[in-house]
Amino acid sequence: MPRLSPWTARLLALLLGAVLPLAFSPFDLWPIAILASAGLLWLWQGATPREARWMGYAFGLGQFGVGVSWVYNSLHLFGDAIAPVAGLITFLFVAVAAAFPALAGELAARLSAPGTARRLFLALPLAWVLLELVRGIFLGGFPWLNLGASMLATPLAGYGPLLGEYSMGLAVVLSAAALVGLLKRRTARIALPLLTGVWGLGFALGQIAWVQPAGEPVSVAIVQGNVEQARKFDPERFEATLATYRSLTEANKDARLILWPETAVPDLVSQAAPFLIEMQDRAREHGVQIVAGVFDEDRFGHYYNALITLPVDGGRYHKRHLVAFGEFLPLRFLIEPFKAFIQVPMSDLTSGADEQPLLQLAGHPAGASICYEAALSREIRLALPQASFLINASNDAWFGDSLAPHQHLQIAAMRSLESGRWMARATNTGISALIDPHGRVVARTPQFEQAVLRGEITPMQGATPFVRWGEWPLWLLAGLGLAGLALRGLIRKRQG
């Protein structure tokens, strides 16, 4: 293989990272995830730790610079940040996220000799999955553009209910390593069985029924109000917003369950009480149940992003994990100097308690999540296996016409696959959807249109292995595997 100059290798890594988002929604060109990863592994295979770090960083700049460019939209278009400030914050965000593939490459290079099968098939895949896991919890977690999410429509989805999204990402990197290994006669005898085994096992796991139906299907109406984000908190628009949800709900009163988006009522429960009481009376009259997104307040003056049920005996849910830039500012020590230039309504909310009673919807316990929480499997697992189905309310209008709403829906579908549960997902401007227990979107709304999505969801019972174990098996696999490589290197160094 030709030896590339350092800057040529970094440029190539940058381009590979920049094309990686094409593997995710809305493009869904999943082979690109394997091919881009294979290109990076090929570059890393013969690199020194320093070279691997800089190539990984370049890859991360491309991956997140393109894939999460929507952060700029949220800050500039809807947070009223001036363009230079929004651009600077977005760059800082991308610069931090890019450090994770950089650390993965350097770690693998330090624990294995260049050009060896040990680096290609062990060190690099384990280092990659470890750093994806770390990124999922660092500063609250940013598990966006994880490789596994791009594999929902492939046999690798079979790993999802077993060990979750990160195991699907590990399968992607192992597949990429196998492709690189096929280029050398010395490693081809490992690569071909590895590639066949990874995909064959994924297909076999996909045939297992981990969960079972727990009752008759429930008719659902998902209301997409399509309230313009720029005017969502405008007092002059408030009554028109309430009228929208009133009329769309009344037109679908034959549904058993009606789901509104996150903060569909852009005010406190106490301030919107007359409207909520009115809708509760209508719900009782028609024998339906409404789940409404609204802001809640406790007696201590704390404000919450909440879901409440109408009638109220179904319970309420306070969002546990707040969304970056919408409800709190990540990397606040960096962003605080620019806070005066960013105007985000309700951007200092309080997190809900970890232990909250499940909502009781249509006679079944349901696991609720709001917006960004759908990206965090640990938040969804808190309701399982008791929850018979999942609901997610979001307001992706913050992202505008960008990649984020499509990526967010794909991420939410991962939670259905991992848990073996139906999910009803309501968003303000789209994409609202019904997702089946295999992570397949069976119905969806168009974006930026007022719509009501009708369908049925089936309550499920039982627990997938992932619901029981979470990510701990992968933490152990990556940690022990890399520790073993480190110990082997130390022993060889002392012997040598």
- CA–CA separation, 107 vs 112, rounded Å? 9
DSSP one-letter string for 266-287: EEETTTTHHHHHHHHHHHHHHT
d(CA 13, CA 47): 13
Q: Is 295 helix (H, G, I), strand (E, B) or coil?
A: strand
| Cα dihedral 140→149→431→288 (10° resolution) | -80
- Give CA–CA dist 476/496, Å, rounded: 30
Neighbour count for residue 226 (Cβ, 10 Å)? 19
Catalytic residue numbers read 262, 319, 371
Q: Which pLDDT score, from 0 to 100, does residue 339 have?
A: 54
* Residue of 25, 444, 404, 459 lying closest to 216 (CA atoms): 459
**Residues forming beta bridges with residue 316, ordered by sequence position:** 308
Contact 62, 13 (CB under 8 A): yes
Report how far apart, in Å, the C-alpha atoms of 272 and of each of 132, 240, 316, 408, 481 are: 42, 13, 16, 29, 55
Between CA 91 and CA 191 the distance in angstroms is: 38
433, two tokens: 């959807």
Do residues 102 and 112 touch, judged by C-beta distance below 8 A? no
- Cα–Cα dist 370/310, whole Å: 17
Query: In this structure, how many other beta carbons lie within 10 angstroms of the beta carbon of residue 3?
Result: 7
- The pLDDT assigned to 72 comes to 87
Q: Using alpha carbons, list the distances in angstroms from residue 319 to 232, 356, 361.
A: 20, 10, 18
What is the rounded distance in angstroms from the CA atom of residue 192 to the CA atom of residue 138?
A: 36
pLDDT digit string (tens) for the chain, length 496 residues: 567 889 999 999 999 999 999 999 999 999 999 999 999 999 999 999 999 999 999 999 999 999 999 988 878 776 667 788 888 889 999 999 999 999 999 999 999 999 999 999 999 999 999 999 999 998 788 999 999 999 999 999 999 999 999 999 999 999 999 999 999 888 999 999 999 999 999 999 999 999 999 999 999 999 999 998 878 888 889 999 999 999 999 999 999 999 999 999 999 999 999 999 999 999 999 999 999 999 999 888 888 999 999 999 999 999 998 866 556 655 555 555 555 555 544 557 888 998 999 999 999 999 999 998 999 999 999 999 999 999 999 998 888 889 999 999 999 999 999 999 999 999 999 899 999 999 999 999 999 999 999 999 999 999 999 999 999 999 999 999 999 999 998 888 888 6
Answer for the pair 96, 437: CB distance below 8 angstroms, yes or no: no
Which tokens sit at 244? Answer: 């929208």
Which residues make Cβ contacts (< 8 Å) with residue 349, sequence separation at least 6?
A: 303, 304, 305, 319, 322, 327, 328
Q: Could you count the other beta carbons within 10 Å of the beta carbon of residue 337?
A: 9
Contact (CB, 8 A) for 443 and 434 = yes
**CATH classification of 212-463 is 3.60.110.10, yes or no?**
yes
Q: Where in the chain are all domains bearing CATH 3.60.110.10? A: 212-463
Beta strand segments in 156-283, E: 212-213, 218-224, 257-259, 265-268
Look at the alpha carbons of 208, 212, 218, 223 in this order and tell me if their dihedral is positive or negative.
negative
| pLDDT for position 2 | 61
